[in-house]
Amino acid sequence: MKVVISGDEYCYLKNGKHYLDDAGIILISRYLKAFDEVFFAIRTKTITEKEELDKYHNLVDDNRIKIIQIPFFQGPQEYLLLYNKVRVTALEALKGCDLAIFRLPSTTAFALWHTAIKLKIPYVTEIVFDCYDGYETTNNLLYKILWKILHQWQVKACNNAIGVACVTEHYLQQRYFPLNKDAVISNYSTIELNPSFYYKSRVYPRKKCFTIVHVANQVAYASRKGHNELIKVVYEVNKLGYNVEVKFIGKDYFGGIERLRAFSRKLKIEDKICFTGFLSKSAMREVMINADIAILPTRAEGLPRVVIEAMALGLPCITSPVSGNPELVSKDLLIDYLDVRGMSLKVIDLIEHKQYYEKTSEDNFLRSRQYSSEVLNPRRTAFYNEVKSLIHNL
């Protein structure tokens, strides 16, 4: 059986060899638990011998994994320039394919999906984000149009799939579902939460300065991940007489870190703001263990892995009541993205009330157990095995 998988992951090509980041290796290993061989159709960037692999340091040396090199692009403009090449590569990737797995939304996966429809190739979708939320929460007209189109594609892709798996238990399923009554349906987060990652529920930290942690893949100015809003929260809480700082974890995105530093300087709280840059999983865990509260103001999500990871480390978490977040965090800790005052008061509430802090920590830690690898991996494998059985009966 030829199985082609496509999503938003990247691959680096150096000296004729392919390299993936940790998330890419973890992802592909899941499919190998159910399929003997997988073809990974992924945007591939060729780098010179002198260039660093950076986080893409995992050599693909398993002969069960075949990398299909999709021309590398970032953003709508670069995609339009390479549109024809991407479509040609998609056609080549799907020739002789028995099953395609599309991780949506993804520009790359959507390109393959359009081709799969023409070739009448059976496929399943794994839904990790709500395009309609993206449409509803952006003020950029171009992105609003793009998100609306992607939402329509995503609905159609799920309606005609032989299997649909969402990262949420309920939320995404309201919009993205198959119409075929025989289709396989499941739900599982994309997170890989091994037993070694877990920490413990927290004892109230008696310290002079509370540390807030914020984690995102990219640190950008005025992004949907709420970096600016959280800096305002730190300003407000300190102004009200409480000593707090924030550590932002994530890779710099188009000079976002420097612009956010300038923003914090204007508020005269630069000494309360720290940017760690990109961190390995173990280094990120260490920073989070030494933090006291996790906050993720966000305009839209699927089911945020960073919130689940923070919960697994026993951190009280404040986030926004969007997408799948209400499935993770109790209602009292869901604060609107723009409600800086509300988030500030919630931070103070956790600082002032020992019992509330410890109860929230314990609840989060226990709830995170539902997302452990021991729980989710069997569910993922069962989904793929059911899809295989369905394919054999077509």
pLDDT digits (tens, 9 = 90+) for 12-21: 999 999 999 9
Q: Report the percentage of the chain scoring pLDDT > 70.
A: 100
- CB burial of residue 49 (10 Å; 0-12, 13-18, 19+): exposed
Identify the pLDDT of residue 55.
Answer: 87
Q: How far apart are CA 133 and CA 299, in angstroms?
A: 8
Q: How far apart are CA 317 and CA 212, in angstroms?
A: 10
pTM: 0.92
Paired tokens of 284? 């990120």
pLDDT digits (tens, 9 = 90+) for 87-126: 999 999 999 999 999 999 999 999 999 999 999 999 999 9
Identify the pLDDT of residue 4.
Answer: 97
Report the 10 Å Cβ neighbour count for 178: 19
Q: How many residues does the chain have?
A: 394
pLDDT digits (tens, 9 = 90+) for 23-63: 999 999 999 999 999 999 999 999 998 898 888 999 999 99
Residues paired with 69 in a beta bridge: 42
Paired tokens of 338? 């723009």
Q: How far apart are CA 174 and CA 206, in angstroms?
A: 44
**Amino acid, res. 104:** L
Q: How far apart are CA 379 and CA 368, in angstroms?
A: 16
pLDDT digits (tens, 9 = 90+) for 140-185: 899 899 999 999 999 999 999 999 999 999 999 999 999 999 999 9
Domains of the chain as residue ranges with CATH: 3-189+373-393 (3.40.50.2000), 195-370 (3.40.50.2000)
